[in-house]
Amino acid sequence: MQNNFREFAVKTIDDLGLSDYEVAKLTGIKSSSVSRWRTGKTTPRKNSLRHLAQLAGRQIRFIKSESGVQVDWVAENDSHLMPYVPLQNIRQTVKVYTWSQANSPDFFRRNGSIGQKPVHSLKGIPDVEDPLVYSIIIDDENNSLIDPYARYGDVLIVSPAASVKNGDHVVAKLNDGRLISRKIQFSDDNLFFTRHEGGAAEFSVRSHAVSFYHKVVYIRKR
């Protein structure tokens, strides 16, 4: 299937009069990605095109046909569209907590929201549009409840709004107070927690024994 994503992205950037570096600073898209678009080595993803549209203060739509998918600007007077959301409202800062904080009894409320102050904040993460997104620094070594893939100093980016399916990495809180960072598997009324590289689950619990589980959408390595 053919698309015009690369041509559209490059023309939008050039029309805005921005350098690849400026685009990266304003949107979170890597300048190296923009460079590869220009040379035809890669094609932008839809989310990247949406970020560019927000940068331009306009909206886009994707049109499917037998030959492929085309992206184009939406007419300014189209009243059926959702209102434009400024880029800075999408790329919110991400509150940062520590694993030690998260393990305290009063850190999470019963609904999974957080009741403590963050230690600091990260800049918004590209393509993560959940306003409740938060992150946890792993400051605990040799903890059997933390997947070995996430080592001391790594940062887990966690999205409460993201849907969770079999095999996703999650942060889960059990009713007995334990906090877990592992991959999750669903089987009837049981939840199994496994290591990142696979293998047999080290333990399982009944679903009613879990307060909540939030998807880990990204791990920022130390």
DSSP result, 115-157: -S--SEEEPPPTT---TT-EEEE---SS-TTB-TTS-TT-EEE
Residues 124 and 42 in one domain: no
183 and 123, same domain (yes or no): yes
- CA dihedral (1, 33, 218, 133) in degrees, to 10, reads -100
Last residue of a domain, one of 60, 84, 108: 84
Please give the C-alpha separations between residue 152 and each of 136, 159, 219, in angstroms, as whole numbers. 11, 21, 12
Q: Are residues 109 and 161 in the same domain?
A: yes
Burial of 67 (0-12, 13-18, 19+ CB in 10 A): exposed
Q: In terms of Cα–Cα distance, which of 110, 169, 166 is closest to 136?
A: 169
Q: What is the pLDDT of residue 87?
A: 46
Say yes or no: 78 and 175 in one domain. no
The enclosing domain of 73 has a CATH number of 1.10.260.40
In this structure, are 54 and 126 located in the same domain?
no
Q: Round to whole Å and give the CA distance between 4 and 72.
A: 9
152 and 108 housed in the same domain: yes
Strands 94-98 and 68-73: unpaired
In tens, the pLDDT along 111-140 reads: 788 888 899 888 766 567 677 889 999 999
Assess whether pLDDT exceeds 90 at residue 53.
Answer: no
pTM of the full structure: 0.58
Give DSSP secondary structure letters for 107-120: SB-TTS-B-S--SE
Task: Determine the pLDDT at residue 81.
Answer: 45
- Give the separation between CA 136 and CA 113, rounded to whole angstroms: 14
Region 40-55: what's the mean pLDDT? 88
Residues 123 and 27 grouped into a single domain: no
The DSSP call for residue 207 is G
- Of 39, 58, 84, which marks where a domain is finished? 84
| Cβ proximity of 219 and 157 under 8 Å | yes
Per-residue pLDDT at 13 exceeds 80: yes
The CATH number given to whatever domain includes residue 178 is 2.10.109.10
Judgement on whether residues 183 and 137 belong to the same structural domain of the protein: yes
Closest CA to 74 of 55, 56, 85, 59: 59
Number of domains in the chain: 2
Q: Are residues 136 and 43 in the same domain?
A: no
Domain containing residue 22: 2-84
Burial-class residue 117 by CB neighbours within 10 Å (0-12, 13-18, 19+).
exposed
Q: Report, as an integer, the average pLDDT of 53-72.
A: 84
Comparing C-alpha atoms, which of 74, 97, 90 is closest to residue 171? 97
